[in-house]
Structure 1
Amino acid sequence: MPDFITLDTLVRNTAQAHPDRIAVIDGERQLRYAEFDALIDRVAAALQRDGVQPTDAISICALSSLEYVATFLGALRAGVAVAPLAPSSTAQDFAAMVKDASAKVLFTDDFAADAMKAAAIDPGIRRVALDGGASGAAFADWIAAADQKPTPLAIDPEWVFNIIYSSGTTGTPKGIVHTHYLRWRQYGQLDPLGYGPDAVTLLSTPLYSNTTLVCFNPTLAGGGTLVLMKKFDAKGFLDLAQKHRVTHAMLVPVQYRRIMALPEFGDYDLSSFVGKFCTSAPFAAELKRDILARWPGGLTEYYGMTEGGGSCALLAHEHPDKLATVGQPMPDHEIRLIDEAGNFVAQGEIGEIVGRSAVMMQGYLNQPQKTAETFWTDKDGNRWVRTGDIGRFDEDGFLTLMDRKKDMIISGGFNIYPSDIEAIASQHPDVLEVAVVGMPSEDWGETPVAFAVPRPGAALDPADLRAWTNAKVGKTQRLSDVTLVETLPRSAIGKVLKRELRDQRLAAAGRD
């Protein structure tokens, strides 16, 4: 690895060497690297003018925009941590996250501000409207004058780069702290992924997600071009990809599914693609196979935690026989499986996934107890991140995910993995997608119940799907019921919210 260098410094280097190269495209607007670097300076200078100190934090809650990207990089240049927040948060969670981050400035836009009207935010926190709307001081008026430069600053690698709040699928979001050093370890490895000066990366997931930053950071580090998409829609994605000759994109599985389902998919010229990436949610083997067959360029699936630890990568285009796995541990990443007693299990056996590497979070902000629960120390004193996922390695060292530990169903003393049942039920010709959850049962403790989304135009019968699935699974895996739903509830980055399905079913049954 090269010597430590900050992301904003790499942007400055590109601005000096290639000032006219396009850095960011936002609809019909675009910034060249020289203009981008100058705007970053103005943001950093404005933060310093307002008394925001190195190691302080700001929060950003808005749709992706030129101003958003410049604010993110400007904060980093001033040594200020960025806490990007989801506009889809509840008002209660939003207020809690702003307070937890100790944000000195809150950057928003009208879209986010409208969703957060009920949030109890400290009125003393300065607000800036990135879109010039009514949510705060207009960004154009707030930034420093064009000729002003920030006071130069030496960034400590252990200073906080960002605070990423968990999606909240398991309760109140936790602030995951990443340092500049951790991020440098990620964006410093560009060549194998093709994130050089010719990279054109289309961002269709929001900037508050670590999923997005995995592509955002290396694109800017390598001097490439970012194409921003404020709200995803499948056809709009293909339009932008063709128009800008996109080379890289990170998408979550539900986005891939919607894109591949478009009748006009084959009409688009996608020959510019070098690499496509996926993470954050289960990625069905048949979907990977369809993408490999019809979409040019490589396909890489990442498995890992925002908290860091060990990560796996599946280069699907190189291992088409391993599409049911999430690949092998990445270089310098160690992945092991442990049993309930904390012992490493043998190859081929099932266990909880733990990982360690140089890329590990500093901890959860202000939550030492939760941090301690997430880290696990082996008998040799090595610290690992517990994923809460259950998996198994095959004879070639490829990891297959079984399920989230918390989603595992214990029925009649048997461990049942919902993903096994989902893999069967989703093969029914009238099923678009399906989720299986464990529901309380007086006879068995828990019992598997499926929530299925029918394919458009299909007349899916719940009883038929139940019988069809139960004929193909083991006796202990049989579904006790099937409920049809129009859509599965998902987080903003595509994770199915099984807790919501379970709660809705309990509420409908009149139970607490």
Structure 2
Amino acid sequence: MSDNVQFRIEPPLLPEILALNGKWRAADIAVVSGNDQWTWREFTSFSHQFAHGLRARGIETGDRIGVLMGNGLPMVQAIFGVIAAGAVVVPLNVSVADEAAVTLLRDADVSAVVACSIHQPRVEGMRDALPVSSLYITPKPHHGWLSFADVTAQQPSTLPETGLCPTDLINIIYSSGTTGLPKGIAHDHVGRRDWVYDVAIALRYHGGARTLITIGLYSNISWVAMLSTLMSGGCIYVEEQFNEHRFIERVEQHRITHTAMVPIQFQRVIEAAEQNGGADFSSMQAMMSCGSPLRETLKRAIFQHFPCGIIELYGLTEGIITTLEPEHAEGRWSSVGRPLMGTDICIVSESGDVLPAGEAGEICSRGRIGMPGYWRRDDANEEATFRDADGVPWMRSGDIGYFDEEGFFFIVDRKKDMILSGGQNIYPQDIEAVMVTHEAVFDVAVIGLKSEKWGETPVALVVRREDQQLEAGDLREWVNTRVGKQQRLADVLFIEELPRNPNGKVLKRELREQFGDKRYG
């Protein structure tokens, strides 16, 4: 070969990949939201114009831009306009309180905030606490704000030159705060691109994918579906909010092929389908469940209703992922599968020993999809690091699990949710798995509360099914005859609804705070 000829180029980053989709898939539909739909040409042209407009107003590569918006076409436009500008997207959970939103925006040190009309008044109340130089952008004209039209006016539709490096950040997604104060989980361009490559293959995305997104676009679950679809050249259907009847309608109407949801959403969809006498899910090719454990009874029900089955994904936004493929589910209903390709996982004891198959310990991971670190949190980075006997760093998950002889992983519980009773470790998930098999139990969370005798003792918070009558004492007795002696419940408390974050995780910290004044013998 001639040394003077070089046809190979460096792998493109996400802005370039999407720009090429805009070039070669120009007339294909890229985004649908409500009555709005954009072709790939329209989508990428707007993103590039928005990016040029941001840079013309002083936004530079690496600047952080907060996004406080509900699901819809404008939020998609904002996210990818910011990315095309080389800036860093900081999408905020819209359900956080104003005080918390200010804290996160200040922590990210944002140079601009993009908000939709619903959340504009909230941002107006925050402006005094944010940097004076910040830009304020909203889709429609509003006094004191730049509209999308203002930003994009007379700007070119080509991808701007930003001097972007592979290790420049692309986003900061704040953790759910289920176990404490949220941390900014930072991702760089090369890691995010490789993450999408690997996840898209594992979840079976392709250029013909029609993906229904029902969770807020501030969630990494939605980023899985959104980026995997768009990088593959498919089309995303963005719902403003989740409704099980609307989900069925959209799947049937648009012949949806892919989705990513949390277990409680799948549960509600199945119940709605059963109430309506069935639903046509034949178009579905691949679905992902994540965010919280997919219990065996629900997993089996999904396989009964959806011909494609379900891919369960265990993972952290930080970059630890396993997937259980539908073909491997039978006989392994409680497994979360094997590591994502290119990812390695080990199980570590409290004393720092790497454990063999069958022994439970903390799940740790390393691979190309891992985050470069928490935003400006060296303490959190060190806390999240395990170094093996050779000094190699691994990322700690905070979850307890084990793998079997075939390399399939099983999650035992969150390390911080573990109950220490009489010197014995009790994993709430084991008790919850028994309780959900009772016909009257719709939802359940087991937490540890104070005990004079044992230090902590397990207590179940239960949501009853609407058509069921059940006494707490009867349910406790039923459970205690089916679990080990150390796992027996001290109490069963009925509540209307379990507190969950938008990703479906039960907020056990809130439950411990709510019921923390209770004492048991």
Corresponding residue for 2:306? 295
Aligned length: 508
Corresponding residue for 2:4? none
Corresponding residue for 1:339? 349
What is the rounded CA distance, in whole Å, between the counterparts of 2:470 and 2:142 in structure 1? 47
Deviations 1:311-343 (A, max 9, x none): 211013443211111111222211111111100
Pick from 207, 211, 214: which aligns with 1:201?
A: 211
Corresponding residue for 1:125? 134
What is the rounded CA distance, in whole Å, between the counterparts of 1:246 and 1:455 in structure 2? 30
What is the rounded CA distance, in whole Å, between the counterparts of 2:288 and 2:60 in structure 1? 36
Corresponding residue for 1:4? 11
Letter aligned with residue 275 of structure 1: A
TM-score where L is the length of structure 2:
0.93
Letter aligned with residue 248 of structure 1: H
Where do 1:16-415 residues align within 5 Å? 16-114=23-121, 119=126, 120-130=129-139, 132=141, 136-145=145-154, 147=156, 151-189=160-198, 190-191=200-201, 193-262=203-272, 263-264=274-275, 267-308=278-319, 310-415=320-425
Letter aligned with residue 292 of structure 2: A
Corresponding residue for 2:5? none
Is the 8 Å Cα contact of residues 363 and 400 (structure 2) preserved in structure 1?
yes
Is the 8 Å Cα contact of residues 48 and 160 (structure 2) preserved in structure 1?
no
Higher alpha-carbon deviation: 128-137 or 394-403: 128-137
| Percent of aligned pairs sharing the same letter | 36
Pick from 500, 507, 510: which aligns with 1:497?
A: 507
Structure 1 unmatched runs, 5+: none
What is the rounded CA distance, in whole Å, between the counterparts of 1:340 and 1:143 in structure 2? 54
SS in 2 for 1:141: helix
Deviations 1:250-303 (A, max 9, x none): 001111111111134654322111100011111111111111111122411111
Higher alpha-carbon deviation: 139-148 or 341-350: 139-148
Q: 1:440 to 1:266 in 2, by over 3 A?
A: same
Higher alpha-carbon deviation: 129-138 or 246-255: 129-138
Corresponding residue for 1:470? 480
Shift of 1:141: 2.9
Is the 8 Å Cα contact of residues 108 and 135 (structure 1) preserved in structure 2?
no
Letter aligned with residue 312 of structure 2: E
Is the 8 Å Cα contact of residues 450 and 518 (structure 2) preserved in structure 1?
no
Shift of 1:154: 3.9
Deviations 1:337-387 (A, max 9, x none): 111110011211111111111111111111111111111111212111101
Q: 1:418 to 1:4 in 2, by over 3 A?
A: same
Higher alpha-carbon deviation: 258-267 or 26-35: 258-267
What is the rounded CA distance, in whole Å, between the counterparts of 1:197 and 1:397 in structure 2? 31
What is the rounded CA distance, in whole Å, between the counterparts of 2:201 and 2:180 in structure 1? 38
2:423 matches 1:419 = no
Shift of 1:123: 4.8
Shift of 1:118: 5.3
Shift of 1:153: 2.9
Is the 8 Å Cα contact of residues 259 and 265 (structure 1) preserved in structure 2?
no
TM-score where L is the length of structure 1:
0.95
Q: 1:117 to 1:423 in 2, by over 3 A?
A: farther
Shift of 1:192: 5.3
Q: 1:440 to 1:114 in 2, by over 3 A?
A: farther
Q: 1:339 to 1:236 in 2, by over 3 A?
A: same
Shift of 1:3: 4.6
What is the rounded CA distance, in whole Å, between the counterparts of 2:145 and 2:43 in structure 1? 23
Shift of 1:232: 0.6
Q: Cα RMSD over matched residues? A: 2.0
Higher alpha-carbon deviation: 187-196 or 452-461: 187-196
Is the 8 Å Cα contact of residues 311 and 335 (structure 1) preserved in structure 2?
no
Shift of 1:180: 0.5
Corresponding residue for 1:436? 446
Is the 8 Å Cα contact of residues 91 and 117 (structure 1) preserved in structure 2?
no
Q: 1:302 to 1:133 in 2, by over 3 A?
A: farther
Q: 1:4 to 1:289 in 2, by over 3 A?
A: same
Structure 2 unmatched runs, 5+: 1-7
What is the rounded CA distance, in whole Å, between the counterparts of 2:518 and 2:146 in structure 1? 46
Deviations 1:370-416 (A, max 9, x none): 11111111121211110111112123221111110111111011110
SS in 2 for 1:400: strand
What is the rounded CA distance, in whole Å, between the counterparts of 1:453 and 1:215 in structure 2? 30
What is the rounded CA distance, in whole Å, between the counterparts of 1:471 and 1:298 in structure 2? 33
Shift of 1:304: 1.6
What is the rounded CA distance, in whole Å, between the counterparts of 1:108 and 1:231 in structure 2? 17
Is the 8 Å Cα contact of residues 292 and 317 (structure 1) preserved in structure 2?
no
